Amino acid sequence: MRVLVTGGCGFIGAHLVTHLVARGDHVVVLDDLSVGTRESLPVHDRLRVDIGSVEDARAVRAAGRDCDLVIHLAGIVGMELVAQKSECAYRVAVDGTECVLAETTAPAILVSSSCIYGTAGVCRESDPIEREEALAADGGSRGYASGKWELEAKARAARAAGRAVLVVRPFNVVGPGQTHRYGMVLPRFIRSALREEPLVIYDDGRQTRAFSFVEDFVHVLAKLATMPDAWSRCDNLINLGNPSATSILDLARTVLEATKSSSRLEHRPYHDVFPGRVDVTHRIPDTARTDQLLGPFAWTNLQEIVRATVASERSRS
C-alpha cells in the first residue's frame, strides 16, 4: 500500500513507519518536527518525508495524494507538554483531524487516546463518554483530552457520511526512542535512575496503568489496518494496548532493578505538579475487540520492555 502517516517522525510514528517500510509499503510522512526528528526515520526509496503541519490544507493534500491509507498520529503528547500547551494540544487534535479528513479520501485510522475515558478503571469501547468528562480530565479548560473527544466526534460524522474511518485508543505506549522531555513516565524514570537521581512518583504510586510495548503496538495497528472486519463494525472504536495492570510504584522498582541504580524513590503530591487536575487511579483496556479480531495477543511483559528501553538509552549515551 501507499500510506500517509501524520506525525511519523514522533516516537510511535517512527516505529510505525519503520514497520510499514519493512513490510513493503510505500510511506509518506507529514510532520512539522515540533516533537519528532527526521533522524528517527530510516532512509529508504519507499519513504518520503514532507515537513509541514496537519493544520495546513495544502500540505495535507500533497502528502495524501494517491494514498491507499491514512494513519493520523500527529498531536501534542506528554503530560508536561500537554499541561504547558493545552490550547495548542486541543487545536492540533481538532483542526488537524478536520484537515486530514477534508483533504484526503483514503480509509483513515485516527489515533485517539485512552485519556478519553477520564477516570475509568477497566475501559470498554462501549462505555458512553461525555464531552464534560474529557473537559474534566483537562482540568476544566479544553486541552488534550477534549481535543481527542472532538477527534472522535469528527470520526463518527465522517463515518456516517460514508468515509471508512477507524478510531484507535492507545494505552501507555512505551519503549526505545521515547523521550523524557515531555513527562513520559518510563523514560523519565530511566533517565533519573541512570543518573542516580531520585525517581519522582506522584502521590503514593499505587496508580495502575497498562504499559504497551511500542513494537507490539505498531504490529497490531498495521495488522488491523488490513483486516476488513476491523472496518466493518457497527461503531469505529478499538482499544489497543496491554491488558495487564502495573502500578507506578512497581514500574519504578522494575527500572531500579534493570539499571542497578541506587536512586531513591521520591513522592510528590500530584496536585503540586499539575494544579487543577486529578490523576487517574486506574486505567486498563478491555481488549475483547482486538482479541476477537486477532485472537489473544501476547503483549511483551514489563520487565522485557524496561530492559529493552534501558539498553537503548545506554547505547545512546
Query: Strand 2-6 vs strand 26-31: parallel, antiparallel, or unpaired?
Result: parallel
C-alpha cell at 300: 511483551
Q: How far apart are CA 315 and CA 317, in angstroms?
A: 6
> What range does the domain containing 159 cover?
2-173+212-240
Query: What's the burial of 86, exposed, middle or buried (CB within 10 Å: 0-12/13-18/19+)?
Result: buried
Domain at 225, CATH number: 3.40.50.720
Q: How far apart are CA 57 and CA 108, in angstroms?
A: 16
Q: Which residues 6+ apart lie within 8 Å of 257 measured at CB?
A: none
User: Based on the domain organization, do 86 and 122 belong to the same domain?
Assistant: yes
Q: Identify the pLDDT of residue 19.
A: 97
C-alpha cell at 11: 516516537
Which of 240, 256, 291 finishes a domain? 240
User: Based on the domain organization, do 178 and 297 belong to the same domain?
Assistant: yes
22 phi and psi, to 5 degrees?
Answer: -65, -30
User: Based on the domain organization, do 29 and 64 belong to the same domain?
Assistant: yes
User: Based on the domain organization, do 135 and 283 belong to the same domain?
Assistant: no
Q: Identify the pLDDT of residue 67.
A: 97
Q: Identify the pLDDT of residue 139.
A: 81
Q: Which residues 6+ apart lie within 8 Å of 6 measured at CB?
A: 13, 29, 30, 31, 54, 60, 63, 70, 71, 72, 73, 74, 96, 100
User: Based on the domain organization, do 30 and 73 belong to the same domain?
Assistant: yes
Query: Strand 122-123 vs strand 208-209: parallel, antiparallel, or unpaired?
Result: unpaired
User: Based on the domain organization, do 221 and 233 belong to the same domain?
Assistant: yes
User: Based on the domain organization, do 132 and 272 belong to the same domain?
Assistant: no
Q: Identify the pLDDT of residue 234.
A: 67
User: Based on the domain organization, do 87 and 143 belong to the same domain?
Assistant: yes
User: Based on the domain organization, do 161 and 293 belong to the same domain?
Assistant: no
Please list the rounded mean pLDDT of every run of 10 residues in the chain (317 residues).
Answer: 97 97 97 92 96 97 97 88 86 96 98 86 89 84 92 96 96 94 91 97 94 97 93 86 95 98 95 78 92 92 97 88
User: Based on the domain organization, do 140 and 199 belong to the same domain?
Assistant: no
142 phi and psi, to 5 degrees?
Answer: -60, 140
C-alpha cell at 136: 474534566
128 C-beta neighbours (distance < 10 Å), count? 5
Q: Report the length, in residues, of the chain.
A: 317
User: Based on the domain organization, do 206 and 223 belong to the same domain?
Assistant: no
Whole-structure pTM over 0.75, yes or no? Answer: yes
User: Based on the domain organization, do 41 and 137 belong to the same domain?
Assistant: yes
If one counts the domains in the chain, the total is 2
Name the 3-class secondary structure at 200. strand
